[in-house]
Amino acid sequence: MSLQNELYKELILEHSRNPSHRGHLDDANVHESGVNRSCGDEVELELFVKDAVIRGIRVNGNGCSISMASGSMMAESVDGMTVEQAEQLIENFKAMITEGKAVELPAELEDLEALQGVKRYPIRVKCATLSWNTLEQALKKAASL
Ligand code: ZN
């Protein structure tokens, strides 16, 4: 295994052990949940969206380390973004994971590259994209607030 893969593995384990953005938001105005039956991953999102900006996000759930790490990284990435920026990132992330497309990620989002290795394991792709698909649904709901 290459050094880079080792670093990515460490990063995924670190996020799954100490997930970011857990807990609840008092002012959440969007709730959405998602399930990945092929692995048993469950994710619940709480968002506070105002003026088309994600002003708060919490990710809760249970699942494998890939799904939990992905949710944690996602929350860190999109917290504070506009809905439009987040939608673009969802699209880029999914292109990277499912099509193996090389995408330009801003320096502060480089952690997400750690997940690109899952594209070699189709069954894991659903784990990595679960929270992102759930966020996509949540943002659709937010648009009709
Ligand atoms: Zn999983």
pLDDT band for 18, please (50, 70, 90 cuts). Answer: very high
For strand 30-36 and strand 53-62, is the pairing parallel, antiparallel, or unpaired?
unpaired
Residue 43 in contact with residue 34, Cβ under 8 Å?
yes
Return the CATH architecture of domain 3-142.
Alpha-Beta Complex (3.90)
Computed over every residue of the chain, the mean pLDDT equals 93
Dist. CA 35 → ligand 1 center (Å): 10
- The letter for the amino acid at 134 is T
CA of 64 to the centre of ligand 1 (A): 4
Instruction: Indicate the domain borders of the chain.
Output: 3-142
Q: Cα(123) to centroid of ligand 1, in Å?
A: 8
Q: What is the DSSP string of 49-106?
A: EETTEEEEEEEEEE--HHHHHHHHHHHHHHTT-BHHHHHHHHHHHHHHHHH-------
- At 143 the three-state DSSP class reads helix
Instruction: Tokens for 22, please give them.
Output: 């857990």
C-alpha 134 to ligand 1 mean position (Å): 14
Please give the distance, rounded to the nearest whole angstrom, from the Cα atom of residue 42 to the centre of ligand 1: 9
3-state secondary structure of 110: helix
Distance 43 CA to ligand 1 centre (A): 11
- Tell me the CA–centroid distance for residue 19 and ligand 1, in Å: 15
Query: 66-78, pLDDT tens digit by residue?
Result: 999 999 999 999 9
Question: Contact 118/73 with Cβ under 8 angstroms?
Answer: no
Q: What is the pLDDT of residues 124-140, one digit of tens each?
A: 999 999 999 999 999 99
Please report the pLDDT score of residue 1 as a whole number. 60
Give the model's confidence band at 104: pLDDT under 50 very low, under 70 low, under 90 confident, else very high: confident
Strand partners, 59: 45
* Ligand 1 centroid – CA 139 distance (Å): 23
Query: Are residues 48 and 17 in contact, defined by beta-carbon separation less than 8 angstroms?
Result: no
Q: Is the pLDDT assigned to residue 21 strictly greater than 90? A: yes
* Nearest to 139, CA basis, from 74, 60, 73, 95: 74
